[in-house]
Structures are given as structure tokens and as C-alpha cells.
Amino acid sequence: MGFFTRSRSPVRRDKPSVSTTGTAPNTTGAAPSSPYAFINRRPTFGGWVRTVWLDILTMAALGAVGLGVYEAPPAPTRNFPIYFNNGEVVFPETAYPLRKNIIPIWLAAFLASIIPITFILLLQIRIKSFWDANNAILGLLYSLINAAVFQVFIKWLIGGLRPHFLAVCDPDVSAAATGTGANGGTGFGYIMFTRAVCRGDKDQIDDSLESMPSGHSTAAFAGFVFLFLWLNAKLKLWSNYHPQMWKMTVVYAPLLGACLIGGSLTIDEFHHWYDVLAGAIIGTICAFGAYRMVYASIWDWRYNHIPLPRGHDGISFGKNMGYGGFENAVFTRKAGWGTFVEGSGAAGAAGAGGRHGHHHHHGHGRRSRSRSVGNGVYQGPEAV
């Protein structure tokens, strides 16, 4: 029985969770008469809109909120040191020159969204599932938008000094208009100042006070970690057979991309390493949460390729269960994955995978590559 078991017996629904009026011809391997076949069929545009309209409104609202916070000036008044009394710079790590981004923020967000979407759509050549593409793209947007809003609030309310802060601030300590002490400083030793001593561009100063967390890193990890999880599920890298090495390379490539985007910010001196790490943590957490919202599992190889439908009853997991026609919603064809045919195996409702079972039923007259488990319980596809 699976870890996510919700029922001890198959749940056959009389009504679909999504509208099937005007659906395209079913080519998924689940027979049209199947009580599960409706789930993995392309809906009409109106039927699709009814399932996602609230998500679209929520994304638009969050985007508006995030943009408003992004454009707002930093909330806190931050004190910072410039020189010690002997003229030595207190924090040389904030004295780097202002340089251009190696990867602008718009390009980081573009790559973190377009590259995953491109892979999701390209792999549909073999997966051929509207709802898989729908859930994957929606999950990606959940991850990116929530991560973006999360990080802009932290930037706005907490922030920090960028590595090029002093170069942008261009402080004139002797002309400080506020504070006490010989040079207008405050605090112990009169070495602490506010942005009142800055002579630089206001917008650049605002930006240089919002270093933590890195928006580039947040977007990169929110998008590419989601793609990493999706590719693992569709290629079955960690599954029940020994895959070829190229699959490992492909699955891990998005993580390399995220690390390169985040790491570039320490080269162009736009962020400290801990800003990049904070953004990576935020993006990764959002990616994991978003993936589990739209797919049946993150790590369980039996179910992590199955997109979850909208509806009050969802999909049941356990013995003798059918999974909505999504048994074949994988890219790989190794070990029988993607070759499930309804009517074979356990009562015509096999679990995730095509040629399945670690044991085979001895009641058949001949051995078949599509075999059922001896007691009718699905165990997963076997290696070829």
C-alpha cells in the first residue's frame, strides 16, 4: 500500500473533477469508457478557464502587490559606519565599485520561466498530456510568483547594504546635517551615519540598501529547482531501474544554471554570498511546495509524475487504483514506464507505470512483459 494511501478500495467517480464537454479524442491509453479516462483529456477552453480563473486572479493580485513593494523606498532607516576615527574604512565589503549586472534581473526571471516552460512543452511530444503541461506550468508560476513576493517584502522591510553601497552613496561625512560629534556621526565613537550623508543618485541608493535576499537567486532557484523535480519525475532518474547517465546530467543541469546565475552576483559585486544563499533557500522552498501542490509526490517514484486534478475528491492512492489515465504521463520508456494499457494488470486499474510488478501472476498461460502482481496489487514497473 502506498505512502499516500487515502482509500482501501478504488474510488470510481460518477462525475468528473473537471469539465469534459467538447474534449478532444482520447489518446492517452485509458479507454473512453473508463471511469478515470476523463481526467487525462483536453478540456474545452471554457472548461479550462473554470479550473484556473481563481489562480489567474491570485497571480495578478500578487504580481501587483509585489511590483508595488518593489517600487517602494526601503522601509527602515539604516545606520551604517563609513570610517573609523583614523580614516580607515569600517566595512571594505561595502566599498566595491558599482558595475553592471552580468545577468540583469529581467533576464534571470526570463530564463527561470521560459527555459522550464520550453522543456515542459517539448517533452509533451511524448508525454502528450494537456493536464500535465497545465499543472507543470501553473506549478512553475506558483513557485516564481510566491518566491518573488516573498523576497521583495524581505528586501523592503529588512534589506541590507550591497557590496557597492559606499560607491553609490558617495558619502560627505563633513557635511552631515544631523547627529552629534565632530563629523556629524552618532553612536559610540560617532562613527555611525544615515543616508543623509549620501550625495549619490536617490534611486541607486534605495536599491543599494536592499541587498538581502538576492532577487536573481530567488527567481533562478524557484524556476530551475521546479524544473529539476519535474525532469526527475518524467525521466524517472530515481526510480526502480538503473538509468543511463545522460538522464542524471539532464536532471541536474537546471541546478547548475541556478547556481551560475546566483554565483554571478558575487562576481559583479551586486550581492554578498549570504544574500545569494538566502534567495536560493526561498526559491527552493517555494519550488518544492509548488511541485507538491500540483503533483502527487515529490520523491515517491511511483506517483511523482501524476498531476493532481482539480476537484473535491482528487485521486485516491493505494491498492488496485487507477490514476486518471496519467499512468503514461512520463517521458522515459525504460522499465515499462509509459507503456501502460488499460485492462492489463490489476483489475484494469494499474498504478503508476506500464509493465509493472516485482512479482508476476502465475495464472497466465504465457509470460508477458505487462504482468500483474500475484495478489492483484500494483508494485510499480519492473526493469527491462
| pLDDT tens-place string over residues 162-219 | 999 999 999 887 755 445 554 567 788 777 888 888 888 999 999 999 999 999 999 9
The cell for 316 is 485516491
Q: What is the pLDDT of residues 197-213, one digit of tens each?
A: 888 899 999 999 999 99
Residue 344 backbone phi and psi in degrees, to 5: -95, 155
Question: Which residue type occupies 382?
Answer: E
Residue 27, CA atoms < 13 Å, CB-side half-sphere: 10
Query: What confidence score (pLDDT) does residue 11 get?
Result: 36
User: Which of these, 119, 101, 127, lies nearest to 254 by C-alpha position?
Assistant: 119
**Rounded CA gap, 384 and 369, in Å?**
9
pLDDT averages per 10-residue partition of the chain, 384 residues: 34 37 40 46 84 93 93 85 80 90 93 96 92 94 96 93 92 62 68 86 91 94 97 93 94 96 94 95 97 93 88 61 72 81 45 41 38 35 38
Segments in 72-182 forming alpha helices (H)? 105-122, 124-127, 130-157, 165-169
Query: What confidence score (pLDDT) does residue 260 get?
Result: 96
The cell for 1 is 500500500
Compute CA distances 156 → 58, 72, 80, 98, 208, whole Å.
21, 7, 17, 21, 11
Query: What confidence score (pLDDT) does residue 382 get?
Result: 39
Query: What confidence score (pLDDT) does residue 112 get?
Result: 96
Query: What confidence score (pLDDT) does residue 23 get?
Result: 40
**Rounded CA gap, 56 and 138, in Å?**
9
- Do the strands 192-193 and 80-81 form a parallel or antiparallel pair, or are they unpaired? antiparallel
CA 278 to chain centre: 16
**Rounded CA gap, 130 and 138, in Å?**
12
